[in-house]
Amino acid sequence: MPEIAAEADAAVADEAAVVATENGLPKAPDSLVSKGLPNFGIFQGEIKDMSWDSLEAKPYNTKWHHKKWEYVGIAADDYFFGIAVCHVGWSSTAFAYMFDRKKEKVTKHYTSNAVPLLTKCEIQDRAFGNALYSSLGNKIQFTREGDVLKLSVDVKKLAIEAEIDLKGAPILCSVARANWIAHSTHKTSGLPIKGHVLLKEHHKTKDLEFDLPENAVASLDSSNGLLARNTEWLWASAHTKDLGFNLQQGYMGKNENAIWVDGDIYPVGNAIFEFDRKNPLGEWKIKTDDGKVDLTFYPEGARGEEKDLGLAASYYIQPVGLFRGTLEPVEGDPIEIEILGVTEDHESKW
């Protein structure tokens, strides 16, 4: 199945790239599933009905393969924040961290795996929808109100209250076979965000607080699909309000690889990551096989985690740093960039 899926996904991505170059990406369909089959393709906009319930020929263990998450990366001058809520079908996890670029390290960090009877995790079947993770007095919550996504974080040593403006957002939407049955993802470039950050020396004691700067941007990843028990990927993402990219090598192939320029979305080819896994803070070289992307990533530090819970296990590292190089959304017109963002090396048994 993985080999067939990869070939089919590549064909869909190739067709989308041609269509986007000529006419722009087509509008996202109304639902994930039509006449029992996934609406495979690469689109712009939001799928309104994010339910897989009408999918035909589901295997008996679909519930355990249903994975969905909400993630936001916030680039704010000297700080980078990563926040996520993830439901993996039979369990859940969440994290929130702040990376201090001046100190070149993660200075505030929270990560949690669900504790039976003591953890609540809910993720709405909607792109950039409501999500909640609450456990042992810690809470991460996303709340969608029209074109605004509210973010509330109150965890050990870190609190954030923020609003992300989705109005007119250029949204990449991809539905692909991936490595099991089907997966969907919605991703944005850099969006306006305003909010307040409170750093706590202890759980409730104030340490430092500040407002997010006016030039801060938030990039969103809302994913929902039926994935294989073993899933892995390499990922790179960096955005300003009018320029950015999302690149992935792994389960989605090139179906979510794209460049954003002034609100337009340009699909690009297969991503090729070159780095030393034993030294993830060394330079990363990231290119696409169509020549549209040629980047060097210079990590400044990283947030990482490795865990083995028996039924589940994961290896994860997310370096934060600067991307320098060129993006070429239109042939012969390369754009020189220097953008703050992240890479990621991730393997999960979930």
User: Would you call 19 helix, strand, or coil by DSSP?
Assistant: helix
Cβ contacts of 344 within 8 Å, gap of 6 or more: 233, 234, 235, 236, 316, 317, 318, 319
- Indicate if the pLDDT at residue 348 is higher than 50: yes
Task: For residue 265, name the pLDDT band (cuts at 50, 70, 90).
Answer: very high
DSSP character at residue 20:
H
Dihedral angle computed from the Cα positions of residues 222, 102, 306 and 84, in that order, rounded to the nearest 10 degrees:
-20
- Indicate if the pLDDT at residue 58 is higher than 90: no
pLDDT tens-place string over residues 177-231 = 998 899 999 999 999 999 999 998 765 566 889 999 999 999 999 999 999 888 8
Domain span at 168:
2-50+62-349
Task: For residue 332, name the pLDDT band (cuts at 50, 70, 90).
Answer: confident
Task: For residue 43, name the pLDDT band (cuts at 50, 70, 90).
Answer: very high
* DSSP count for the chain of H helices, then E strands: 2, 26
Task: For residue 4, name the pLDDT band (cuts at 50, 70, 90).
Answer: very low
Give just the sign of the alpha carbon dihedral 148, 149, 154, 157. negative
d(CA 167, CA 188): 12
- What is the pLDDT averaged over residues 129-156? 97
Residue 7 falls within a domain, yes or no? Answer: yes
pLDDT for the residue numbered 1: 46
β-strand partners of 96? 83, 110
> Between residues 13 and 88, which one has the greater pLDDT?
88
Question: Are the beta carbons of 224 and 200 closer than 8 angstroms?
Answer: no
d(CA 160, CA 93): 19
- Indicate if the pLDDT at residue 21 is higher than 60: no
In percent, the amount of the chain with pLDDT more than 70 equals: 90
**For the chain, what is the domain count?**
1
Task: For residue 63, name the pLDDT band (cuts at 50, 70, 90).
Answer: confident
pLDDT tens-place string over residues 66-90 = 999 999 999 999 999 999 999 988 8
Residue 201 falls within a domain, yes or no? Answer: yes
Question: Are the beta carbons of 86 and 69 closer than 8 angstroms?
Answer: yes
- What is the pLDDT averaged over residues 291-297? 98
Residue 184 falls within a domain, yes or no? Answer: yes
Closest to 200 (Cα-Cα) out of 105, 75, 109, 81: 109
Question: Are the beta carbons of 310 and 273 closer than 8 angstroms?
Answer: no
Residue 144 falls within a domain, yes or no? Answer: yes
pLDDT tens-place string over residues 180-195 = 899 999 999 999 999 9
Instruction: Name the average pLDDT for the chain.
Output: 91
Residue 55 falls within a domain, yes or no? Answer: no
Q: Which residues of 220-235 are buried (b: 16+ CB within 10 A; e: fewer)?
A: bbbbbbbbbeebbbbb
d(CA 131, CA 143): 7
Question: Are the beta carbons of 317 and 345 closer than 8 angstroms?
Answer: yes
Give just the sign of the alpha carbon dihedral 196, 202, 206, 210. negative
CATH number of the domain that residue 117 is part of: 2.40.370.10
Residue 57 falls within a domain, yes or no? Answer: no
Vertex 97: Cα angle to 349 and 315 (nearest 5)? 20
Residue 196 falls within a domain, yes or no? Answer: yes
